[in-house]
């Protein structure tokens, strides 16, 4: 996955110093993130400030897991818990380049990707507020979710941020928890709410009912994806989940290789769509999780529904709609002719039902 560093303007050429700053990992840019970004843009507009998002090139949990696994022994003091997990890292929903793509034309003026390393992880919460927010960014307004944690050992929280803002000269606003008010709904028919009761309609994707407790978070979305619940993931993201990677033809199907350590759907067969030469090519994707290639990447085979979906070897995005649960995918990830026929018939029924 693409790793970015520094400041990237999106919708204006304004700089980042003295801006209204939104804090978070923003992995997935799900509905909760988009709510915070919309609130940030609104307040920045009222104050006459640019609105930027401040995040990291690497997910902090990945870095800290690597430290605790011995990859970086110099950070054990900053992460005293130790022994969290092996150095696999957190599977990302969006890398830096994908975040920029999603946010073009949206609310923020730019993104700042900072480096999270042993030195940064050792910063005390007040040092983060003084050196980074007040010093490096010159923030005028800081906005974060109520669960935002910062500083060494994740020791700082929302109340601390408010205190440090008063001390170092920046305003702080904390957004409410963002939840979806449903028990079992078709995506696109629910209402998303904050704890303060403000609601808005959202548009998801899929045909099956979704069961959830309403929490919108990157961790919840990852759990849906790993379990093959793509409709649930799409409902919380506000769009279909996709993987970016390379697709090359092999006989009558394509072999898709995801970029980097992206969060991959659990093993199984999926109704999917690839972007080929600017056109959406529908088909089925057979996923074998942890294919044993040494890198932990899944093996994905894509079978197009129409012969006119012609491709050689291209970089593309593969979108996942729904899992086909009555077809088992073998360890090789390759399907018999009968399985392909059955799967492609399911694709036709799926989209016919969506248009009815």
Mark which of 175, 196, 213 sits at the end of a domain: 175
pLDDT of 326 > 60? The answer is yes
Per-residue pLDDT reduced to its tens digit, 80-101: 332 223 335 678 898 888 888 8
Its pTM stands at: 0.81
95, 139 Cβ separation under 8 angstroms: no
Q: Are residues 22 and 90 in the same domain?
A: yes
**222 phi, psi to nearest 5 deg:** -60, -40
CATH code of the domain containing 24: 3.40.50.620
Q: Are residues 245 and 334 in the same domain?
A: yes
Q: Which residue has the higher pLDDT, 4 or 125?
A: 125
Q: Are residues 24 and 72 in the same domain?
A: yes
Residue 330 lies in a domain: yes
Strand partners, 179: 193, 215
**d(Cα 43, Cα 174) in Å, to the nearest integer?**
12
Structural domain count, the chain: 3
Q: Mean of the pLDDT values across residues 284-292?
A: 80
Q: Which tokens sit at 296?
A: 């932990």
**335 phi, psi to nearest 5 deg:** -110, 150
Q: Which of 59-63, 135-139, 272-276, 349-353 has the highest mean pLDDT?
A: 135-139
Q: What is the pLDDT of residue 73?
A: 39
Q: Are residues 250 and 231 in the same domain?
A: no
Residue 1 lies in a domain: no
Q: What angle do CA 279, 285, 290 make, to 5 degrees?
A: 130
Q: What is the pLDDT of residue 50?
A: 94
**d(Cα 63, Cα 90) in Å, to the nearest integer?**
9
Q: Are residues 167 and 185 in the same domain?
A: no
Strands 210-211 and 184-185: antiparallel
**d(Cα 125, Cα 144) in Å, to the nearest integer?**
14
Q: Are residues 158 and 229 in the same domain?
A: no
Q: Name, in order, each residue with C-beta under 8 angstroms of 52's C-beta and a sequence gap of 6 or more.
A: 7, 16, 19, 20, 21, 22, 108, 109, 110, 111, 112
51, 109 Cβ separation under 8 angstroms: yes
Q: Are residues 14 and 129 in the same domain?
A: yes
How many residues appear in the chain?
A: 356
The whole domain housing 200 covers 178-237
Give me the residue label for tokens 């093996």.
299
Q: Are residues 111 and 88 in the same domain?
A: yes
Residue 152 lies in a domain: yes
Mark which of 237, 254, 272 sits at the end of a domain: 237
Give me the residue label for tokens 């199984």.
268
Q: Which residue has the higher pLDDT, 78 or 245?
A: 245
What is the maximum alpha-carbon separation in the chain?
68
Q: Are residues 35 and 168 in the same domain?
A: yes
**87 phi, psi to nearest 5 deg:** -80, 55
- Band the pLDDT of 4: cuts 50, 70, 90: confident
pLDDT of 347 > 60? The answer is yes
Per-residue pLDDT reduced to its tens digit, 202-235: 233 333 334 445 778 999 999 999 999 999 999 9
CATH code of the domain containing 285: 2.40.30.30
- Band the pLDDT of 186: cuts 50, 70, 90: very low
Q: Are residues 332 and 247 in the same domain?
A: yes
**d(Cα 307, Cα 2) in Å, to the nearest integer?**
32
- Band the pLDDT of 67: cuts 50, 70, 90: low
Q: What is the pLDDT of residue 202?
A: 29
- Three-class secondary structure assignment of the chain: CCCCCEEEECCCCCCCCCCEEEECCCCCCCHHHHHHHHHHHHHHHHHCCCEEEEEECCCHHHHHHHHHCCCCHHHCCCCCCCCCCCCCCCCECCCHHHHHHHHCCCCCCEEEEECCCHHHHCCCHHHHHHHHHHHHCCCCEEEEECCCCECHHHCECHHHHHHHHHHHCCEEEEECCEEEECCEECCCCCEEEECCCCEEECCCCCCCCEECCCECCHHHHHHHHHCCCHHHHHHHHCCCEEEEEEEEEECCEEEEEECCCECCCCCEEEEEEEEECCEEEEEEEEEECCCCCCCCCCEEEEEECCCCCCCCEEEEEEEEEEEECCCCCCCCCCCCHHHHHHHHHHHHHHHHHHHC
**d(Cα 5, Cα 312) in Å, to the nearest integer?**
32
Q: Which tokens sit at 187?
A: 């995506």
pLDDT of 72 > 50? The answer is no
Q: Are residues 31 and 163 in the same domain?
A: yes
């Amino acid at each position: 996955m693409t790793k970015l560093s520094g400041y990237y303007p999106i919708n204006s050429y304004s700089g980042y110093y003295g801006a209204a700053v939104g804090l978070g990992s923003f992995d997935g840019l799900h509905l909760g993130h988009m709510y915070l970004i919309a609130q940030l843009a609104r307040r920045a507009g009222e104050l006459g400030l640019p609105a930027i998002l401040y995040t990291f090139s690497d997910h902090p949990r990945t870095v800290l897991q690597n430290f605790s696994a011995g990859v970086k022994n110099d950070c054990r003091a900053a992460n005293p818990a130790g022994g969290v997990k092996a150095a696999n890292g957190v599977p990302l929903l969006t890398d830096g380049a994908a975040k920029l793509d999603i946010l073009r034309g949206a609310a923020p003026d730019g993104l700042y990707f900072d480096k999270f390393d042993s030195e940064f992880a050792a910063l005390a919460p007040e040092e983060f507020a003084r050196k980074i927010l007040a010093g490096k960014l010159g923030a005028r307004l800081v906005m974060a979710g109520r669960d935002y944690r910062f500083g060494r050992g994740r020791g700082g929280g929302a109340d601390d941020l408010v205190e440090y803002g008063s001390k170092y000269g920046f305003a702080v606003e904390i957004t409410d928890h963002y939840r979806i008010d449903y028990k079992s709904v078709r995506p696109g028919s629910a209402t998303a709410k904050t704890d303060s009761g403000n609601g808005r309609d959202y548009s998801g994707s899929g045909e099956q009912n979704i069961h959830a407790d309403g929490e919108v978070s990157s961790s919840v979305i990852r759990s849906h994806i790993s379990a093959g619940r793509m409709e649930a993931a799409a409902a919380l993201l506000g769009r279909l989940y996709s993987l970016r990677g390379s697709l090359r033809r092999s006989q009558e199907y394509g072999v898709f290789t995801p970029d980097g350590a992206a969060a991959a759907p659990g093993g199984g067969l999926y109704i999917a769509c690839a972007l080929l030469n600017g056109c959406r090519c529908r088909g089925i994707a057979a996923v074998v999780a942890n294919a044993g290639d040494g890198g932990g990447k899944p093996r994905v085979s894509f079978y197009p529904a129409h012969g006119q979906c012609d491709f050689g070897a291209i970089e593309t995005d593969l979108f996942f709609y729904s899992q086909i649960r009555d077809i088992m995918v073998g360890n090789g990830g390759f399907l018999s002719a009968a399985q392909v026929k059955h799967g492609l018939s399911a694709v036709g029924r799926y989209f016919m039902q969506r248009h009815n």
